[in-house]
Structure 1
Amino acid sequence: MLSLTFVCFIALPIFTLITYLFYGPGESWQHLQKTILPGYLANSFWLLIGTSILSLLIGVSSAWVVSRYEFTFRKQIEWLLILPLAIPSYITAYAYAGIVDYGGLLEQLFGKTFPKIDVMNLTGLIWVLSLSLYSYVYVSARAFFLYQSGRLLEASKMLGVGEFKSFFKLILPLSRPAIISGLVLVLMEVLNDYGAAKHYGINTFTTGIFRAWFSLEEPETAIYLSALLVSIIFILLLLERWQRRNKNYSLNSKSEYGLTRIRKRNSVSIGIYFIVAIPMFFGFIAPLIQLIQWAFLTYESVFTSSFITTSLQSLGIAFLSALLTVVMALVLLYTSKWNQLAIVKQFSKIGVIGYAIPGAIIAIGVLIPTLEFDKWLASFLKKNYDIKIGLLLNSSIMALLYAYVVRFIAVAYNPIEALTNKQAKSLVESSKLLGKNNLKTFFKVDFPLIKTGVLSAFVLVFVDVMKELPLTLILKPYQVETLAVKAYEYASDEQIMEAALPSIFIIITGIIPIIFLNKLINNAKSN
């Protein structure tokens, strides 16, 4: 019963959106269907297609190169390729808008005669999102390639099949689940993006949700757009599951050992460096250089007491959100494990689908029930006790923290669940035979064994909260500022150089878990 209660609590925003669909759309819905909605569909479709192709091309090729070949600076390059994840896509978008603008890096390096490049369009947005997000594919593919069976490649060579053909006929099909899992994360982030699309003037579903909610003041229309977007996401997930069906991609672990890296001659090495240098430079180094240059030019006006206050608020909110999310993930995971009913364990999975839903939609799902509760409470107190109160939950820090938990609980749940699945059941059973209840067994046996997963979950959620923009824009209290919102506000006010300093602070907090993630992959490989 406790497990079901927590699931309902976490899934309340999603249930709310489903319920409000039955109320019908707003007055502008018919007009939007005929005019703007086709543009939302077309832009979102081409964004998904273009970003998917580029992310797959960059992510898979660079993952294979660093996994298969030995070359100078390989160890440094393999984690540098993950660093674009530390820069939120909207910040990369701001940087590229400046790089190609008058007085930007291109003009400084090549002079005013260098032809101007327009990135403020759909093609530019695809380029920016691909460079920001390809690392999801890279991380998943690289983790798989590191465990890939070397004997399979040897057998392939013995049959006279070359390296190139072996990769496309053998390795790539086997790595499909890992690659697709990374690609799904890319697609989720593309559909969740608001800051980059808004800055580049591209109408997408997320920008449409904001416009319907704030400009048109029609929450019903925003909910209908949200429902369409969620439907697209779940169709993508179902298509992937349907394509996989009952195919088995597992390898025989008894005959498996990792890839042996090989060193190529100089002419091939140049191609290898070219493959890894493009995403490394354009995805991380170039945007960071532009941001650092802007920060030096504007730090005197930006680095004020209010900026320090904003930074502390961001860190505090991220810390509290990460702590609450990890606790909720542990409660959800272990209450379902302690329950003997299989249906309860399956139902608990509903609580972790929030990460598949864009932040703007989660925010709307939180706004509606909190507003209804505040109205009911105000009416109840006025009627029974003649007490007048304002909004208690709506637009409060509690609503914001609750939305973060709903949005990111899957980020905390998955790494912890992965470790619990590796635990020997005999340890827990022995504890219970000694008369210890579930709670004591958790603190004495389970928690010491999963504390690494708990720590990694905390760090990952902390960074995701620091970067989150759409959800924070909608739900944050008036008196609360975050670094992500501050960077967005500067960019919206055409003060793009002033957005550099808060952006760099976000990047610094994002680099820490990137290094941590790389060490986890390497440690798993060595073990």
Structure 2
Amino acid sequence: MSLRPIAMAERSATGLLRGGALFVAALCLLPMLAVAIAAVLGSTETLRHLADTVLWTYTGTTIQLAVSVALGTAAIGTGAAWLVTMTRFPGVRAFEIALALPMAFPAYVMGYAYTSFLDHPGAVQSTLRAVTGWGPRDYWFPEIRSVEGAALMLILVLYPYVYLLARAAFLQQSATAFLAARALGRGPWTAFLRVSLPMARPAIAGGVLLAVMETIADYGTTSHFAVQTFATGIYTSWFTMADRAAAAQLALCLLFFALLLAILERMQRGEARHHAAGKRFERLPPIPLAGAAKWGAVMLCGLPVLFGFVLPVILLVGMGLDSEQSLFTRRYWEFTRNTVVLAGTAAVLTMLGAILISFRLRLWPGPTSRWAAHVARIGYAVPGGVIAVGLLVPFAALDNAIDSFLRESVGISTGLLFTGSIWLLVAAYLVRFMAAALNAYDSGLGTIHPNVDAVSRTLGKPPLEMLRRVHLPVLRPSVLTALLIVFVDTMKELPATLIMRPFNFDTLAVQAHRLAADERLDGAAVPSLVLVAVGLLPVILVCRGLGRRQDSRVFGPPPTPAE
């Protein structure tokens, strides 16, 4: 049998892998270019007015939110991941899943619940005044509609990003390095800080970066809490002031901030690489906790679950019972079906794009591959509405060009082929959440020693076969985590869905927004609860999947001192 057809097939598959990564990166770049062109060609009059009034407020508030969310999510997510993975205390198995449940909540929905509960006419302050007999000016109560309140809502919703990625990284660590530190006289907590934590740092940094990018792009929470950020400024300029140039210029500021975050994280990481030590995988025996440490772990893991999931669900159920919305209708079945179809399609396609980009960078590192990876990450910091308009403008022009050409050539009108289609909406989700999939996938890819790739190629495995037979089986926890993040984020995405959805194609998020915009917050609680309930299933499945460890892993030999 001739080897020439096999070699041609391998070259074709290799070209498809490399070209597919560039296509995904170009798609992610397209809306940014459209926004950048609009910013450059537009007038700067509104931007100058903003610079004289609120631009520095936007900057300061955005930075304050980003720093608060970064610190809060890193502390809660990393600490909880270590406790449930490496220690044993009462209820640890339940906390493994429960700690990820707040991820199913949209931040703006949690904001609605806590505002109704803690605001001046809410249950807490009303009860306080009734019990004490105080008047409105006789006491001080923390203001929920503030920067601190918005930061707290975002931390409660976003810490699962760090928790899931850190937990996957801890599960993929071999015990040999940790046990070596213990053999050298280090205590368990010192060994954690000096060995386990640095090895999981890429995953933790990736989760924190996701949380910060989500924070600077958030609109629903900050607008509800009357907090002025770049995101609210973009929407105010775009939709209220009808100045797309000013909105595009503010969007460029967000792009710059996102790029700066990514560059700083890469510089801080440097050339460090962390691969599993030892020739075989050894699981670290969990550390049993006793006494105060045991109940302290229960409290530390229980508080995020209580305030990030249990209490908001109770509040929303109470609001929903007072509404006139019914779940047992055909309309809500259609809302749920549309939501699941969009989220599932976007999650799978985004994950495939992330694998293509990461695999190209792994096997063919170079300026082009690094450029593709960096470009694909920046969409997460751009508000969904800006990405939507950035895609609508070029594709609407393409639709018009195709229609005009066919009218003149054959007398046929094609109408709108791309604009208003499901696939263009899915493309917006792909651009928006590609960074989430890349960070989750790369956090696991960094644990596979490069020598594994070299051995696979030596044994004659082509790149596609190596990806299928070696990388993906080992990276199953990271792939499942990435799918979960994109699925849930897509369900919660509101601005892009509002702008780009096909006619009469509504989702749960759109229905909740419609009711909330009409000041029917009790009614908005019903689709919000369904949105949370649908998001719980993938959260639970992935958490259970992460807990099922394989008996053996494919790792390389111990790294050299230079590594």
- TM (norm. structure 1) is 0.83
Contact kept, 8 Å, 2:387 with 2:428, in 1: the verdict is yes
Residue 493 of structure 1 is aligned with which of 518, 526, 538?
Answer: 518
Counterpart check, 1:53 vs 2:77 = no
Judged with a 3 Å threshold, the aligned counterparts in structure 2 of structure 1 residues 489 and 43 are, in CA distance, closer, same or farther, namely farther
Residue 90 of structure 2 is aligned with which of 59, 72, 76?
Answer: 72
Judged with a 3 Å threshold, the aligned counterparts in structure 2 of structure 1 residues 384 and 203 are, in CA distance, closer, same or farther, namely farther
Cα distance in structure 2, aligned partners of 1:227 and 1:165: 43
What does residue 92 of structure 1 align with? 110
User: Could you tell me how far 1:477 is from its partner in structure 2?
Assistant: 4.0
Cα distance in structure 1, aligned partners of 2:515 and 2:338: 18
Judged with a 3 Å threshold, the aligned counterparts in structure 2 of structure 1 residues 327 and 50 are, in CA distance, closer, same or farther, namely closer
CA RMSD of aligned residues (A): 4.1
What does residue 136 of structure 1 align with? 161
Judged with a 3 Å threshold, the aligned counterparts in structure 2 of structure 1 residues 442 and 180 are, in CA distance, closer, same or farther, namely closer
Cα distance in structure 2, aligned partners of 1:259 and 1:338: 29
Question: How does 1:127-206 map onto structure 2 within 5 Å?
Answer: 127-147=152-172, 150=175, 161-206=186-231
Residue 318 of structure 2 is aligned with which of 285, 293, 307?
Answer: 293
User: Could you tell me how far 1:113 is from its partner in structure 2?
Assistant: 3.3
What does residue 254 of structure 2 align with? 229
Counterpart check, 1:349 vs 2:373 = yes
Counterpart amino acid of residue 513 in structure 1: P
Cα distance in structure 2, aligned partners of 1:472 and 1:168: 43
What does residue 277 of structure 2 align with? 252
User: Could you tell me how far 1:118 is from its partner in structure 2?
Assistant: 2.5
Name the SS for the 2:45 alignment partner: coil
Counterpart amino acid of residue 248 in structure 2: I
Q: Which moved more, 1:507-516 or 1:44-53?
A: 507-516
What does residue 518 of structure 1 align with? 543
Q: Which moved more, 1:255-264 or 1:93-102?
A: 255-264
Counterpart amino acid of residue 401 in structure 1: V
Judged with a 3 Å threshold, the aligned counterparts in structure 2 of structure 1 residues 410 and 520 are, in CA distance, closer, same or farther, namely farther
User: Could you tell me how far 1:327 is from its partner in structure 2?
Assistant: 6.0
Counterpart amino acid of residue 83 in structure 2: V
Cα distance in structure 2, aligned partners of 1:416 and 1:134: 18
User: Could you tell me how far 1:316 is from its partner in structure 2?
Assistant: 3.3
Cα distance in structure 1, aligned partners of 2:427 and 2:455: 36
Judged with a 3 Å threshold, the aligned counterparts in structure 2 of structure 1 residues 345 and 156 are, in CA distance, closer, same or farther, namely closer
Residue 279 of structure 1 is aligned with which of 304, 322, 326?
Answer: 304
Cα distance in structure 1, aligned partners of 2:51 and 2:266: 30
Cα distance in structure 2, aligned partners of 1:506 and 1:385: 47
Deviations 1:242-264 (A, max 9, x none): 11213344452348744332333
Cα distance in structure 1, aligned partners of 2:26 and 2:89: 52
Counterpart check, 1:506 vs 2:531 = yes
What does residue 53 of structure 2 align with? 35
- TM (norm. structure 2) is 0.78
Judged with a 3 Å threshold, the aligned counterparts in structure 2 of structure 1 residues 67 and 393 are, in CA distance, closer, same or farther, namely closer
Contact kept, 8 Å, 1:354 with 1:408, in 2: the verdict is no
What does residue 385 of structure 2 align with? 360
Q: Quick one: percent identity of the two aligned structures?
A: 30
Contact kept, 8 Å, 2:346 with 2:487, in 1: the verdict is yes
Structure 1 regions of 5+ residues with no counterpart? Answer: none
Counterpart check, 1:313 vs 2:331 = no
Judged with a 3 Å threshold, the aligned counterparts in structure 2 of structure 1 residues 153 and 403 are, in CA distance, closer, same or farther, namely closer
Counterpart amino acid of residue 68 in structure 1: M
Deviations 1:421-453 (A, max 9, x none): 8998998999999xxxx99x7999899979968
What does residue 62 of structure 1 align with? 80
User: Could you tell me how far 1:37 is from its partner in structure 2?
Assistant: 1.2
Q: Which moved more, 1:473-482 or 1:340-349?
A: 340-349
Counterpart amino acid of residue 34 in structure 1: D
Name the SS for the 1:499 alignment partner: helix
Judged with a 3 Å threshold, the aligned counterparts in structure 2 of structure 1 residues 159 and 450 are, in CA distance, closer, same or farther, namely closer
Question: How does 1:120-131 map onto structure 2 within 5 Å?
Answer: 120-131=145-156
What does residue 6 of structure 2 align with? none
Cα distance in structure 2, aligned partners of 1:445 and 1:254: 19
User: Could you tell me how far 1:282 is from its partner in structure 2?
Assistant: 0.7
Residue 131 of structure 2 is aligned with which of 97, 103, 113?
Answer: 113
Deviations 1:218-260 (A, max 9, x none): 2221111111101101101111111121334445234874433
